Amino acid sequence: MSKVIVSKDKCKQCGYCVKHCPKQAISFSADFNSSGFKYAVVDDSKCIACGMCYTTCPDGVFEITE
């Protein structure tokens, strides 16, 4: 199971999470969500489940599972 669940349709591509992830585990998708934004994608092999993205995202995109 993924360490972080991403609600991709809530993402507005602001980039705060990409900037603040200490492991550079977040990038933007190649495709678009239902609002027309490229959305945050987490590389599970880099993620340490620190919760920084959860704290940083103004739109409640992330949920930490462990």
Binding residues vs ligand SF4 (CB under 6 A) = 4, 11-17, 21-23, 25-26, 40, 42, 47-53, 56-57, 59, 61
Q: Strands, E, within the chain: which ranges?
A: 4-6, 26-32, 38-42, 62-64
Smallest gap, in angstroms, from Cβ of residue 30 to ligand SF4?
Answer: 15
Residues in the chain: 66
Q: Indicate the residue among 30 and 49 with the shorter CB distance to ligand SF4.
A: 49
Q: Indicate the residue among 32 and 51 with the shorter CB distance to ligand SF4.
A: 51
Other CB atoms within 10 Å distance of the CB of residue 48: 11
